[in-house]
Amino acid sequence: MNIFYMLMLMVVSAMAQKVEFQVLGSGGPEIDGRASTSYIVWIDDKARVLIDAGSGSMLNFEKSKARLEDLEVIVLTHLHIDHSVDLPSYIKAGYFSNRRDVLPIVGPSGNRYFPDIEDFLDSLFNGTYKYMSDVLDEDSDSFQIVPVEVDSKNVIHKKFKHFSLDLTNVYHGNVPAIAVRVNVGSKSLLVSGDTNNKNLSLEKLAKNVDLFVAHHAIPQYAKGYATQLHMTPSIIAKVAKDGNAKKVLLTHRMKRTIGKEEESLKVIKKIYNGEVLLAEDMMKLKL
């Protein structure tokens, strides 16, 4: 190796950003000792992306030492309670923080069962919590939140200061839902959100990801309605294999899958050769 090449390598590695993925909530909607779905993407020790805000999320956000001032976006993959219920708590806490920058809240479109992200925020802050209605205004007393709706079968690319997002609709029964890929320099991760991947949407986002965060809510032999909502372990494995994902993190763990990890891992490892980890609250992985 010549000296020029070595120097180049040293410069590139010194410039590389530190990217970490932290699980705030590894559970689903049950009362089971885990917080519900929520994750932070840390970039150079700052919490830049919050993905989902299920119950218990904010307490673990506090424990993680993340700061609301550092967030550039909140993404809600869908509006089920176990993914969104803590959102008003963050916004209220933000009122007492030093945050003044606008905070985009990315979320799905609506249908007859669910509001779209704009109506969701409106129903909260112009409805139930209308004492906080100024957060929807430009001249807010604290900071403004702005809905960003994603309604596309194609991949939508959005740029932020420290990262970019790729977003697309995924199939989750009658629930409008999205998956999100976070790109930071040469690093990337994909959060499936809740989906059974019926429309093969995840394949559009999974190419060469360093980490595939897969919602593992049902066991391989699940039958009936649950399979219309969630991926079986073999579907997770296929997405990981076809996308050439470096690592898989199984999360959104529910009583249906707890105690059956060995069986799920056996199914996955028959199809996918990479490392597979099981999520716990507060777990932090370096990409």
State the residues that interact with Zn ion by CB under 5 A: 82, 194
Does residue 86 contact residue 67 with C-beta atoms inside 8 Å? no
The tokens describing 100, both together, are 């003044």
Q: How far is it, in rounded angstroms, from Cα 49 to Cα 228? A: 29
Q: How far is it, in rounded angstroms, from Cα 205 to Cα 2? A: 37
Question: Rounded to 5, what percent of the chain is helix, strand, coil?
Answer: 30, 30, 45
Q: Which of 151, 55, 71 is nearest to 103 (CA)?
A: 71
Q: Which is nearer to Zn ion, 20 or 194 (CB)?
A: 194
Q: Strands, E, within 55-121: which ranges?
A: 73-75, 103-108
Q: Which is nearer to Zn ion, 194 or 281 (CB)?
A: 194
Q: Which is nearer to Zn ion, 105 or 135 (CB)?
A: 105
Q: What is the DSSP letter of 273?
A: -
Q: How far is the CB of 81 from Zn ion (least distance, A)?
A: 9
Q: Which of 186, 183, 185 is nearest to 167 (CA)?
A: 183
Q: How far is the CB of 135 from Zn ion (least distance, A)?
A: 25
Q: How far is the CB of 194 from Zn ion (least distance, A)?
A: 4
Q: Which is nearer to Zn ion, 33 or 159 (CB)?
A: 33
Q: Which is nearer to Zn ion, 187 or 253 (CB)?
A: 253
